[in-house]
Amino acid sequence: MTEQTQTPSSSQRVWVIGLDGVPWTLLQPWIDAGHLPTLARLQQGGAWGGLRSTIQFLTAVAWTSFLTGLNPGKHGIFDFVRRIPGTYKQELTNASLRSGRSIWRILSDAGRRVGVVNVPMTFPPEPVNGFLISGLDTPGLDSAYTYPPEIKADVNDIHFIAVSTVGKSHAQYLQETLEGVDKRFELLWRTIQREPLDFYMWVEMETDAIQHCSWHLMADPSQPNHDAILQVYKRIDAHLAKLVDTLPDDVTLIVMSDHGAGPIVKTVYLDRWLAQQGWLHYKQGKELTLRDHMRRLARKGVKNSFYLAQRFLPVSVKGFLKRFTGAHAAVETFMEQAEIDWCRTKAYSVGNLGNINLNIKGRDPEGVIEPDQVEAFIQELTTALYQLRDPDTGERMVARVMRREEIYTGPLIDRAPDLLIRWVDDKYLAVKDYDANPNGPIFGAKQKFGRHGAAYALDQTGTHIIEGIVIFYGKGVRPNVQLQNAELIDLAPTILHLLQVPIPRAMDGKPLLEAFDPEIANRPVRYEKDDEFSSSGPGIALTEEEERAIRERLQGLGYVA
C-alpha cells in the first residue's frame, strides 16, 4: 500500500480535480471520438452532468463561490478587481477580501486533514489542518504562497503560476502549455503522496488559457496547431489515467470545472456605446486641464510605442518588453479614470463580461443621477441594451439585463455592479476602451491579450460560457447517471456530506444526493446548529511590484482589462 492509499481519520476521502473552463461542448465529442479514454471511463462509470456557474462566470467569482458554497452577495468577490469604497479607483481582489469560510477551513475545524494545490483566489494562504499552495492570484514564487511556510522549499522547483503569453508565437505558447501540464501533474503526485489526507484538491489552469487563444484554430484544419486545445486535453487525459488506475477504494473522485468555454463572435466596446448614448462623457476642449493634455499625449506615446513594438520587433525582443507592460497598464488605467468627466457621466462599464455601474448622487463621489430618477434611468438603459443588434447578422445581442438584487442575496450586494449583462449564447465579450474616443467603433472582431496588444502576439478568440462540467467517480457513486440542474455552489455541501461534516446553514448550495448510492444518498443531511458566517478581513497590502505582477499576468491571460 502506497502512502497515498493509507486511510486517515475518516473511512471516506474526497479528491477534487479542477479543470478550469472545460465545457461539455468540447469534452463530449472528443470522448465519443475516442480521444479521451480516461475521461470516457470516468463518465461511463460515474455520475456526470453540466455544472451551472455563477453570474458573472468569471474565474475569481466562480472559484470563490465553489470554495465557499456561497453566492457572491455573501462572499463579496465579483471580479478580479473591486472599486475602492468612496472612489472610482479599482484594486485587485484576493482571498483576504473574501467573506465566508472556505471548505478546507470547515474541514480543518472538524479535524479533517486537507491538501489544497493551485486553486485560484487562495492567496494569501490561510492556515489549515494540512497544507495549502495558493494559485493564480499569487504575486510570485518569491512570495509566501504556502501554508505551512516550510512546504515552499519542497515545491518551489516545480510549481508555477501561469504560462505567460508575452512575446510568443502560438506554437511556442502551446509547447510551453503542454510542458506546464506535465509540471502540474508532477506537483500533484508530489503533494498527494505527502501525507494521508481526508480531502485533496488540485487545479489545472492551462485548459482555460489555451482555449482563450486557440478557439479560432479549430474551425480550420489547415491551420498549424488547429488541434491545440485537443492536444492539451489529451495530455491531461493521459496523466489522469494513472490517477484513476491507482484510485484507492475509499476515495470519491470529483472532476469539475468552474465554468465552460466558447467562441468570441464579437467584442463590444461598452464605454463607447454608453458615450454615444450620451450617458458617459470624457473631458473635452476647455474641460481639459494642462495636466489632462499631458496625460493624453503621454498615453498616446506609450500606446504607439508598444503598437510599433508589437508589429515590427522580433518575438525575442517582445519578450524583453514584458517587464514594461505592467507599468504601461497601470499608467493607462490611471489616465482613463482621470479623463472621464464624472460630473456628467451617468453610467460606465466595469469588468470583462459586460457589467455597468451607475453614478448616483449621494452614493458615488461625483454622482449625477438623482435617487428618485434611478428607476427610470435603469429602464431607459435596459431598453437600449435590448436594442443592440449584431451588425453582421442583425440578431439581438443581449439576452438579459439583470439588476444585482435579482441574482444575489446577502450582506455584500453593494459591492456588485449595478447591472449585469448576459449576452446571447455567451458569445460576445465586452471590453474596455482606453482611447477616450466616443466616436470610435462599438464592435470589434479581435481582442489582443493585454492592453492594446502591447508586446503580445496572440489573439483572444475564446471566452467563458456559463455551463461547466462535473463527474463523480469511485466510492459511493452511482454509475452511468446523468445529473440534472447541478450548480457550482452545490459541490461544497456535497463534499461536506460525503465526509460527514455538518454543512453551514449560510451555504446556498445543496448536496447532490442523486449522484450517490443509497447509503450516502439516504444519510440525513447534517447542518451546523448555529448560522456562523465569517466576514471579510481588512485585506492585505500588496506591494507595488506584487500588484503589477498579478495585474500583468491577469491581463496577459485575458482575465482583466
The pLDDT tens digits for 182-232 are 999 999 999 998 999 999 999 999 999 999 999 999 999 998 899 999 999
- pLDDT tens for residues 403-423? 999 999 999 999 999 999 999
Q: For Cα atoms 518, 523, 524, give the angle at the middle one, nearest 5 degrees.
A: 145
The DSSP line for 347-361 is: EEEETTTTEEEE-BB
Helix (H), strand (E), coil (C) string for 236-255:
HHHHHHHHHHCCCCCEEEEE
Q: How does residue 452 score in pLDDT terms, banded at 50, 70 and 90?
A: very low
CB 495 within 8 A of CB 106: no
In single-letter form, the type of residue at position 286 comes to K
Helix-helix angle 170-192:228-245, to 10 degrees: 10
pLDDT at 277: 97
On whether the CB atoms of residues 451 and 561 are closer than 8 A, the answer is yes
Per-residue pLDDT, 210: 96
User: What is the sign, positive or negative, of the torsion defined by CA atoms of 94, 97, 98, 103?
Assistant: positive
pLDDT single digits (tens) 110-145: 999 999 999 999 999 999 999 999 999 999 999 999
DSSP per position, 453-497: GTTB--EE-EEEESEEEEEEEETTBPTTEE--SEEGGGHHHHHHH
Neighbours of 425 (CB within 10 A): 13
* Distance from the Cα of residue 316 to its chain's centroid: 29
Least confident among 148-152, 447-451, 483-487, 530-534: 447-451
Nearest residue to 199 via CA among 136, 144, 134, 254: 254
First to last CA, the chain: 49
User: Residue 336: which pLDDT band, with cuts at 50, 70 and 90?
Assistant: low
C-alpha 61/C-alpha 70 separation (Å) is 10
| Rg over CA atoms, the chain | 23
How does DSSP assign 394-412, residue by residue?
A: --B-EEEEEEHHHH--STT
pLDDT tens-digit profile of 436-445? Answer: 677 889 998 7
What are the pLDDT digits (tens) for 30-69? 999 999 999 999 999 999 999 999 999 999 999 999 999 9
Contact 3, 193 (CB under 8 A): yes
**Which residues does residue 88 pair with via DSSP β-bridges, in sequence order?**
none
DSSP secondary-structure letter at 424?
A: G
What DSSP letter does each residue of 284-331 carry, written as one string? -GGG--HHHHHHHHHHHHHHHHHHHHHHHS-HHHHHHTHHHHHHHHHH
Query: Which residue did the predictor score with more confidence, 4 or 371?
Result: 371
Q: Are 207 and 20 in contact (CB under 8 A)?
A: yes
pLDDT tier at 329, thresholds 50, 70, 90 = very low
Cβ–Cβ < 8 Å for 15, 200: yes
DSSP for 19-74, written as a single string: ETT--HHHHHHHHHTTS-HHHHHHHHHSEEEEEE--SS--HHHHHHHHHH---HHH
Higher pLDDT, 77 or 544: 77
Which whole number is the average pLDDT over 307-314? 46
Helix H or strand E encompassing 272: helix 270-276
Helix (H, G, I), strand (E, B) or coil at 366: coil
Query: Taking the model in full, what pTM does it have?
Result: 0.89
C-beta separation of 10 from 196 below 8 A: no
Quick one: which of 414, 423, 417, 353 has its CA closest to 386? 423
Task: List the one residue out of 450, 457, 380 whose CA is nearest residue 419.
Answer: 380
Q: What is the arithmetic mean of pLDDT over 323-346?
A: 60
- Using an 8 Å Cβ cutoff, are 263 and 211 in contact? no
- For 397, residues 6+ apart whose C-beta sits below 8 A from its C-beta are 268, 388, 389, 390, 423, 424, 428
The DSSP-derived string for 513-555 is GGGB-HHHHTSPPPB-SS---PPP-------HHHHHHHHHHHH
**536 neighbors 124 (Cβ within 8 angstroms):** no
Q: 261 by DSSP, 3-state: which?
A: strand
Q: What is the DSSP string of 88-156?
A: S-EEE--GGG--S--HHHHHHHTT--EEEEEESS-PSPPP-SEEEEE-TT---TTS--EESGGGHHHHT
**pLDDT computed for residue 110 by the predictor:** 97
Pick from 306, 348, 341, 300: nearest CA to 326: 306
Q: What is the pLDDT of residue 292?
A: 53
Mean pLDDT of the 172-180 span = 96
Mean of pLDDT values over 344-348: 97
Lowest pLDDT segment from 76-90, 269-283, 460-474: 76-90
Query: What's residue 440's pLDDT?
Result: 86
**Strand duo 260-263 + 251-256: pairing:** unpaired
Angstrom distance (rounded) from CA 284 to CA 276: 14
For all residues of the chain together, what is the average pLDDT? 87
Domain-wise residue ranges, the chain:
8-261+464-555, 266-460
Domain at 8-261+464-555: CATH code: 3.40.720.10
Beta bridge partners of residue 360, listed in sequence order: 369
User: Is pLDDT of 530 > 80?
Assistant: no
Helix (H, G, I), strand (E, B) or coil at 174: helix
